């Protein structure tokens, strides 16, 4: 090797390293997408262990989706999937339309805690702990994504309950929760944005608080008839295995207070903060859920596929307990509703948790209905997206 070639090589290496470091350091550099080698294939996940009501089936829509968390659907059918601890946002495509993913692209792998995704007018919005990013015209640029635009970067930066779920409401505003930065504390006294759900115009302007006294909401949706915001909230820890309940809540008026940190589940005074207020001052949950079940995504079935009796009910993903003696959650729950009132709460899909061994092969996170009425479920432990379909028992192929 001549001196000249080795110098040229060294120079090339230096330039390459410089490019690499500049890409990694700038927070809004153009992402370098990577297509995961992926073939539609029978997944090895033991979905046959899952129990569903008669007529329902569950299959794997995509696997190899490391740490799959929140989901958002693009206008052209791209499924965007976020992660909490993997720094990654995925774009998942089903190009041959057989309801199994055939292309999975790692859209960006440089993002700290990109837990929230939402889609509006061609753009993908991603929520990190303290800021919101937007990738424009994303579905036409999956192979060459643009550098994200920073929409808003002034949210609190604590990682404790700092990961965010986001979604656009029927009012075309972007809804962004801010968790309490603790297990139990009166954080709103320090900064009123803590323990709240906020909303803003798509460009980040006109931010306001929609719901207060919310410990940590990581899933919400709007009622298909009333247009009201419904959200799940994760109850506090260290009051024992069985209290307080997690919650499903309904916002009937902007600014309502849902109790945290003073009152839990509508009736349980907090041992430390409970004396400051009566529980009557706060909006009670529509449904008190199990303690520690960790409810995340929530949806109302609206499409043509699910049976009529599910209309007006809510389905929610219970991610499952991490600090309860006997594990709870690890299922999709159904809250049966008569208007705004709960008339039943029980399992829709269960079996991720083996009750005997107390081991779980998966933990459901988010729910999303496709246009055909089938339901997608993300799972950040099995690294998968499932699809649930329904055909009346007795129909051919059901």
Stretch that binds Ca ion, among 53-61, 93-101, 292-300, 363-371 (CB under 5 A): 93-101
Regarding 100 and contact with Ca ion (CB under 5 A), the answer is: yes
How near is the Cβ of 61 to Ca ion at its closest, in Å? 9
Q: Kindly state the smallest distance separating residue 160's Cβ from Ca ion, in Å.
A: 19
- Interface segment toward Ca ion; rule CB under 5 A; list 27-35, 135-143, 257-265, 379-387: 257-265
Using CA atoms of 168, 103, 145, 173 in order, give the dihedral in degrees to the nearest 10.
0
Q: Scanning residues 227 to 256, which ones bind Ca ion (CB under 5 A)? A: 247
Nearer to Ca ion, 98 or 253 (CB): 98
Q: To the nearest whole angstrom, how small is the minimum distance from the Cβ of residue 103 to Ca ion?
A: 8
Residue list 277-316, contact with Ca ion (CB under 5 A): none
348 binds Ca ion per the rule CB under 5 A: no
Contacts of 197 (CB under 8 A, 6+ apart): 175, 176, 177, 178, 209, 210, 211, 214, 217, 220, 229, 231, 251
Binding of residue 269 to Ca ion (CB under 5 A): no
The nearest distance, CB 266 to Ca ion, in angstroms, is 7
**Choice from 145, 148, 244, 259 touching Ca ion (CB under 5 A):** 259
Residue 103 within binding range of Ca ion, rule CB under 5 A:
no
Q: What tokens does 357 get? A: 């061994």
> Does residue 102 touch Ca ion according to CB under 5 A?
yes
Contact between 39 and Ca ion per CB under 5 A: no
> Looking at 19-67, which runs of residues are DSSP E strands?
34-36, 56-62
Q: 296: helix, coil or strand? A: strand
Nearer to Ca ion, 247 or 318 (CB): 247
Give the angle subtended at the CA of 156 by the CAs of 154 and 162, to the nearest 5°: 125
The residue from 71, 92, 94, 219 that contacts Ca ion (CB under 5 A) is 94
State the minimum distance, in angstroms, from the CB of residue 259 to Ca ion. Answer: 4
Instruction: Tell me: does residue 87 bind Ca ion (CB under 5 A).
Output: no
Residue 151 or 376 having the CB closest to Ca ion: 376
Q: How far is the CB of 78 from Ca ion (least distance, A)?
A: 13
Cβ of 356: how many Cβ atoms within 10 Å?
6
SS3 193: coil
CB of 376 to Ca ion, least distance (A): 14
Distances (CA, A) of 105 to 65, 144, 193, 316, 328: 10, 11, 35, 27, 34
- Minimum CB separation of residue 208 from Ca ion in Å reads 20
The β-bridge partners of 247 are 233, 288
Sign of the four-CA dihedral 377, 182, 335, 356: positive
Q: Of 366, 368, 390, nearest to 380 (Cα)?
A: 366
The count of chain residues that interact with Ca ion, using the rule CB under 5 A, is 8
Structure tokens at 301: 């079935």
How close are the terminal C-alpha atoms of the chain, in Å? 68
Catalog residues that contact Ca ion under the rule CB under 5 A. 94, 96, 98, 100, 102, 247, 258-259
């Amino acid at each position: 090797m001549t001196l000249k070639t080795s110098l040229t090589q060294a120079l090339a290496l230096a330039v390459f390293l410089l490019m690499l470091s500049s890409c990694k350091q700038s927070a809004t550099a153009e992402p370098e997408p990577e297509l995961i080698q992926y073939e539609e294939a029978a997944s090895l996940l033991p979905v046959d262990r899952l129990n569903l009501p008669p007529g329902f089936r569950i299959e794997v829509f995509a696997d190899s989706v490391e740490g799959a968390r929140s989901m958002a659907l693009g206008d052209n059918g791209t499924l965007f999937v976020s992660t909490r601890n993997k720094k990654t946002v995925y774009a998942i495509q089903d190009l041959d339309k057989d309801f199994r993913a055939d292309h999975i692209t790692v859209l960006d792998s440089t993002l700290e805690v990109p837990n929230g995704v939402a889609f509006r007018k061609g753009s993908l919005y991603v929520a990190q702990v303290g800021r919101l990013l937007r990738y424009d015209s994303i579905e036409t640029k999956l192979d060459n994504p643009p550098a994200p635009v920073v929409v808003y970067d002034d949210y609190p930066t604590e990682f404790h309950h700092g990961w965010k779920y986001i979604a656009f409401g029927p009012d075309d505003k972007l809804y962004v929760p801010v968790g309490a930065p603790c297990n139990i504390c009166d954080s709103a006294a320090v900064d009123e944005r803590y323990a709240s759900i906020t909303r803003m115009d798509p460009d980040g302007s006109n931010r306001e608080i929609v719901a207060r006294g919310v410990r940590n909401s990581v899933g919400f949706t709007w009622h298909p008839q009333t247009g009201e915001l419904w959200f799940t909230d994760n109850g506090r820890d260290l009051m024992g295995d069985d209290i307080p309940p997690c919650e499903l809540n309904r916002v009937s008026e902007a600014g309502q207070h849902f109790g945290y940190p003073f009152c839990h589940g509508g009736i349980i005074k907090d041992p430390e903060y409970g004396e400051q207020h009566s529980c009557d001052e706060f909006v009670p949950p529509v449904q008190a859920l199990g303690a520690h079940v960790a409810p995340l995504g929530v949806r109302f079935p609206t499409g043509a596929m699910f049976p009529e009796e599910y209309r007006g009910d809510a389905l929610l993903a219970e991610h499952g307990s991490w600090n309860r003696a006997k594990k709870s959650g690890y299922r999709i729950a159904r809250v049966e509703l008569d208007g705004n009132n709960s008339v039943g709460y029980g399992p829709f899909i269960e079996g991720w948790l083996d009750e005997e061994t107390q081991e779980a092969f998966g933990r459901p996170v988010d729910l999303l209905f496709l246009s055909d009425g089938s339901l997608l479920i993300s799972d950040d432990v099995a690294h998968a997206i499932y699809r649930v379909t329904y055909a009346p028992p007795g129909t051919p192929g059901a």
